[in-house]
A and B are shown apart, each in its own frame.
Chain A
Amino acid sequence: MGNIFGRFLLRIGPILTLFRRNPAQHRFYYVPSAHGRRWKRALLLSPILLSLFFIAAGPGGRAISKALMTRITEMFSDPLLLFAERSPGGRGPGALLSTKTGLKPHERVLSSVRDRPDVPPEAGSPVFSTPQALESPADTLPGQAGGPPTSGPPFSNTPFFYPGPPPEGAPPPGTPPGGTPPGGTPPQGPPDTPTTPPTGPPPDTIPIPEPATWLMLVAGIVAIGAAARRRRFN
């Protein structure tokens, strides 16, 4: 027990020697021992660390951390990201071809009875056509069908998801129509069509700490830097 106390005194002692009074000079003087210097710096640093802790644990710090957390959760709860999570994956170009059952690859689908064009004829066809009258029966041939199949503007060039309000303009009408061209090449949209950048709603205002808090923070950082500089030059 006594040994422990003695060791504690040995540890603590230099702190006391820091402020030892010299009766000859009648003023406090500094004892230049490395151990004491470190303790003095620790004493200087601890209120700074305490203030940093209270800044972080205070309402401002909590609000900042809460805003960060909500931002992170929003980032992870993007619907398209969640759709990608639950998706079984995309279908590759050769996914329907089976090369194991025979020499000739074949598609495991129903036999080709009809021939339906898979590309809409015009690019400027109406996007949301009014429901036409159902004069044509269920599975009419394309020659007998009334009009071209409704189709939308290309989707390959426009992003799925904007986190903000809708872009200003719909895709320009001159862009090629969506769907697969007969050649099978992907429709390369003109690269100069600019997609309007997402202009989201203003983010949640992160409460800014008081000027005094900022000053204290800056003073703490300056003190740390000064201590490090002094230590290096010494």
Chain B
Amino acid sequence: MSVYFRSLMLVAVAGLAAALLRWALPQCPGCKAPPPIAAAAPAREPAPGIRIWYPASNYPRLSLPDGRQETVRSILNITKPMSFGDFVWNTDRVPAGPVWVRIDLTRQLLSVFRGGHEIGSSVILYGTDGKSTPTGSFTILEKDADHYSRSYDAPMPYMLRLTQDGVAIHGSNVRQGWATHGCIGVPLDFARLLFGVADKGDPVVILTAGPGTRKSESPRHRVG
């Protein structure tokens, strides 16, 4: 038996003695258990699991390509990788506020923020290598719920136009292995929800980590 084991044994014996003493002594009448603080606090935040709330003292910020930064107050709690055609939409307890859309081409994701809270996220389709989606900061120039593209002779429902030459966010059949000619394709139901939230003039940011991103590389290692 080493010294340290012996000393630990002595500490344990002392702790046991203290516990016994505490148990044996009668409870003092003056000291009562303090009222539970958690019950008194208002339940402002929804059930955990729906979204991740950041502490008000330290909101993370997402930097935009034009140098501005957007504060993120909460984001949706999606821990599993979404597959093509999936989306998540949740506006519970999210107050009204300015809406902006973040499109991440590298991660093939679109996120809608309202007042700093992420209310929707979806897997997207984007342009091919030959007709790539432009990156940068855009604003929604036009909204059209029943748009029909003359160039492609195809319906593009719930279209949110971003550029004058036809790049838009619209509902489409989001499947793995498919791509667009520069537009951002989102699932049709998600496009309907996004169409209801976004207004003309809301900023849309399209980000990429640059071409040549291989699939074997994890996106998290390309940050920064």
Contacts and interface: CB of A to CB of B under 8 A. Distances in A.
Given A139-B149, A155-B207, A161-B63, A42 B3 contact: yes
A78 B60 contact: yes
Interface residues of A, number: 90
A113 B152 contact: yes
Given A131-B201, A161-B60, A136 B106 contact: no
Contact of A89 (B57, B77, B152, B215): B215
Nearest to B178: A108
Contacts of A93: 129, 211-212, 214
Interface in A61-102: 70, 74, 77-93, 95-96, 98
Contacts of A50: 11, 14
Given A78-B60, A87-B109, A152-B66, A109 B179 contact: yes
A203 B104 CA distance: 29
Contacts of A95: 177, 215
A178 to B, nearest CB: 5
Contacts of B213: 90-92
Interface in B76-90: 77-84
A86 B177 contact: no
Contacts of B75: 79, 82
Contacts of A79: 60, 62, 72, 75
A122 interface: no
Interface string B176-219: 11111110000000000000000011010001111111111111
Interface string B121-135: 101001111111011
Interface of A: 38-39, 41-46, 48-50, 53, 70, 74, 77-93, 95-96, 98, 107-110, 112-114, 116, 118, 120, 127-128, 131-132, 134, 136-140, 142, 145-147, 149-156, 158-167, 169-171, 178-180, 184-187, 201, 204, 227, 231
Given A155-B208, A161-B60, A161-B62, 6 more contacts: A41-B7, A83-B109, A84-B223, A113-B152, A171-B67, A184-B129
